[in-house]
Structure 1
Amino acid sequence: MECPKCGHVQAGEKECERCGVIFARLQKREEEKSLPSQTETEIPVATARTGSGLTGWAVALLIGLVAGWYMFGQQQKTGGDIAPSREVSSPALEQQGQNPSQPVVRPEGPVQVQTAEGLAGKLAAAFPVGNGLEQARNATVFIKTPWGSGSGFFVSANGYIVTNRHVVEFDAAQLKTLKGKAEKLAGDLERDRRNRAVLERQLAGIRDAGVRRQVEEELQRRQEAYEKYSGMLTEINGQLQRIERSSWSSDIKVILIDGSELPVQSLKMSDRADLALLAVDCYNAPFISPVTDSRHLGQGQKVYSIGNPAGLRHTVTAGIISGYREYKGRKFIQTDAPINPGNSGGPLIDEQGGLIGINTMVLRDTQGIGFAVPFPEVKTEFGQYLGGM
């Protein structure tokens, strides 16, 4: 028979060999109270950056190194532990009507709190659930990879998680750029090493005590700078090796609100949209249901964003729907709910905890202008895996 919980097919008729559910208990519970339906979500974006190195002689060389690596450091703050939301410029964004082509709507009543058993029960014991927002919070996960991190969330009780493709797939173009800048830094450091060697040989012939002292101080400064940036280069090369050797099955970590981790069983990525679908092995995960009734969410409606900005896990922020836009032929929900680095792939929900969209990108050089992918995109991309969502 087929398990009504996880779909596992087996010969036994008393207990599921995969998820452990007792069929008789499940049937009795369903007769007393209907179980909540499954959900869905969407995903978006990320970038990484870097800087240059050493040029010139003596102080000029050091200044160039410091300036270049300052830029590199600023850019790398968005990599490492935090995957930023994608930035776009404004001209390509076009005004749309109040709603996307497939309307985003909100439920008329509060979202039903899901049954407290399995993974949902375990998390609710540590982080009690009293409303739809808290239920969505427990369903949101932290996704960490060798190149950065982001957010995601359960869209079904049997372990499917939606996130951005850029969160789980490192851009090959960015990898090439990072390699190029690492090679440039290595070359700059080698030239500086040779220049210092020349200066050290010249030092032996300097008889003026004052000049000799100045040259010795300059050599010391350059040696310290060389050691500092050599260490940075070692770290970058280590990161490059981790990225090149990484695999989704072993290096992508799904971290729950209680800090526990689940291994990724499968990964599917959209070819058209910045969306990805992960699967983990669990029973009765907390999940976010999409809004499905007939009342449209118009401009000015209050919404909430859940994610892991700057590594601050499971942060909830609020805003409104600012409008609906089109970018590169795709529909987006515009919101002023803060979408910061680390929010990529997290859910945008209404006041009852119903899923509206997936946080994806922010408008460059602005504040309070973020975008989410409407929920129907998830259904379009991954409906064959998510059943009757």
Structure 2
Amino acid sequence: MELHEALVASAARASQPDCPAGTPWYISTDMTLETIRCPKCSHAQTNQVECEACGLLFRKFEQVQAREKEEKSAQSGQSGLKSERSGSATKIGSVLALVVVTAALTYVLASSNRPESVPPPPTQPAETVVAEKVTPDTAAKPAPQRIEQTPAISAGSPLEQAKNGTVAIETPWGTLGSGFFLTDTTIVTNKHVVVQDTSQLDEFRHKVKTSRQLITLEQESIVELRNRLNRMEDGPTRRQLIIILQEKEKLLTRVLPIQKEEEARLKEMEQPRSTSGIKVFLADGSEYTAQSVQVSAKRDLALLSLYSAKAVVLKTAAKGSVLQQGDKVFTIGNPSGLRNTVTSGIFSGYRQDKETGEVILQTDAPINPGNSGGPLIDARGQVYGVNFLRLRDTQGIGFAIPIQAVFEEFSITSPTGQ
């Protein structure tokens, strides 16, 4: 801006008659009398104070022009500063973006060589919608879950009685689940809680073996590249190959210990398991071992035999008793290892399995991993169902098997008067 104004001023001076230094451009000295020309209307006169034609005050005009020039100069400086700051910010942003992209690329390259460290989720049961059984992988490392606060329960209330009759179940292969006393010596739970899922084991075995094959191929590739490196002359290509080899060996060093841990875990899972090692924990924390296990052939149900003077039998809803949509219900169980957890919701409706024709109960009461086998009860503490699954990748959609199906499946007589 200043250069532009200087050029304009120079051109303006060049278009005017020559003047002594310090003389305003509008004063002409080539006349006999000192004559000036008004910068506004170009009127020629000898009066150097005020234009006789338009009344312009020359000194004031000069002051205004000087002030405008100073303001323009200040604005130009601020604009340059903003531009400089903007440019610096852009450079910093570009550098940060490059760092982020580089880090992301490094992570992707590293992750691509790392075998899976956890077993796959349980196989989907055949239901009307894509669903999953809600059992976590192991007892030692429960997955974090969103658990609602346990509602306030007064001592001796129906909810308190139902909570005291609900148990936590732990299997030798690490499965966590729930159950409840149906009689003083019988606990009902889900079959998938007390029977190991062979399909899950098969899939985990496949992943571990595939990872081992990929590691072996990578080791052979490194040997081949190193032999090739030894035959190459020094140059850019050889130095580039050295870097590639170093990165490959570094990644392999990180992957091998993880692979060994997974292979040891697979070996442990493949050991023959006995249901005699199933542990049952009562509400007061006392620990027992199940005496026997009986599983259903067609339903996700199982019975455990256990003898304890502390057994609290839950009341079951009378045959023919139905829940109405919107009725308040509660689930009790062992979600993610958090024992004696009570969550509430409403009864959403009855649904039918298209494959089996079985009627199941839908609720929005949270059914999280570890809740499987626990009771679905009403506000009076009466059991209407056995929790067994939730919809995959959803919240607020869980299902329970009607309690009457338990009596039918195992030929148990429903308690009198219920």
Tell me the TM-score range normalised by the shorter chain.
Answer: 0.5 to 0.7
For the 8 Å contact 2:407–2:413, the answer to whether it is kept is no
For the 8 Å contact 1:85–1:362, the answer to whether it is kept is no
Gapped runs of 5+ residues in structure 1?
A: 1-59, 93-126
Deviations 1:215-273 (A, max 9, x none): 45544443343344333333333333333324334442223334442112100000010
Rate the CA distance shift 1:65–1:173 in 2: closer, same or farther, 3 A: farther
For the 8 Å contact 1:87–1:363, the answer to whether it is kept is no
Superposed counterparts of 1:145-160, under 5 Å: 145=171, 146-158=173-185, 160=186
Q: Residue 208 of structure 2 corresponds to which residue in structure 1?
A: 182
Match of 1:335 among 363, 381, 388: 363
Rate the CA distance shift 1:218–1:265 in 2: closer, same or farther, 3 A: farther
Q: Say which SS state the counterpart of residue 192 (structure 1) adopts.
A: helix
For the 8 Å contact 2:117–2:258, the answer to whether it is kept is no
TM-score norm. by structure 1 comes to 0.64
Q: Residue 268 of structure 2 corresponds to which residue in structure 1?
A: 242
Rate the CA distance shift 1:226–1:154 in 2: closer, same or farther, 3 A: farther
TM-score norm. by structure 2 comes to 0.60
Which shows bigger deviation, 253-262 or 337-346?
253-262
Deviation at 1:337, TM superposition (A): 0.6
Superposed counterparts of 1:249-268, under 5 Å: 249-268=275-294
For the 8 Å contact 1:62–1:225, the answer to whether it is kept is no
Q: Residue 248 of structure 2 corresponds to which residue in structure 1?
A: 222
Q: Say which SS state the counterpart of residue 245 (structure 1) adopts.
A: coil
Gapped runs of 5+ residues in structure 2?
A: 1-104, 132-152
Superposed counterparts of 1:275-294, under 5 Å: 275-292=301-318
For the 8 Å contact 1:132–1:353, the answer to whether it is kept is yes
1:365 to 2:410 alignment: no
- Please, what is the CA RMSD of the aligned residues? 3.6
1:382 to 2:402 alignment: no
Q: Residue 138 of structure 1 corresponds to which residue in structure 2?
A: 164
For the 8 Å contact 2:113–2:251, the answer to whether it is kept is no
For 1:382 and 1:243, the matched residues in 2 are separated by 30
Deviation at 1:170, TM superposition (A): 1.8
For the 8 Å contact 2:166–2:340, the answer to whether it is kept is yes
Superposed counterparts of 1:102-141, under 5 Å: 129-141=155-167
For the 8 Å contact 2:184–2:307, the answer to whether it is kept is no
Q: Say which SS state the counterpart of residue 217 (structure 2) adopts.
A: helix
Which shows bigger deviation, 133-142 or 187-196?
133-142
For the 8 Å contact 1:303–1:351, the answer to whether it is kept is yes
The count of residues paired between Structure 1 and Structure 2 equals 290
- Which entry has the higher C-alpha Rg, 1 or 2? 2
Deviations 1:114-147 (A, max 9, x none): xxxxxxxxxxxxx994312122222222222215
For 1:347 and 1:183, the matched residues in 2 are separated by 40
1:355 to 2:394 alignment: no
For 2:264 and 2:209, the matched residues in 1 are separated by 13
For 2:175 and 2:109, the matched residues in 1 are separated by 28
Rate the CA distance shift 1:197–1:283 in 2: closer, same or farther, 3 A: same
Deviations 1:88-124 (A, max 9, x none): 56399xxxxxxxxxxxxxxxxxxxxxxxxxxxxxxxx
For the 8 Å contact 2:176–2:370, the answer to whether it is kept is yes
For the 8 Å contact 2:319–2:404, the answer to whether it is kept is no
Deviation at 1:307, TM superposition (A): 1.8
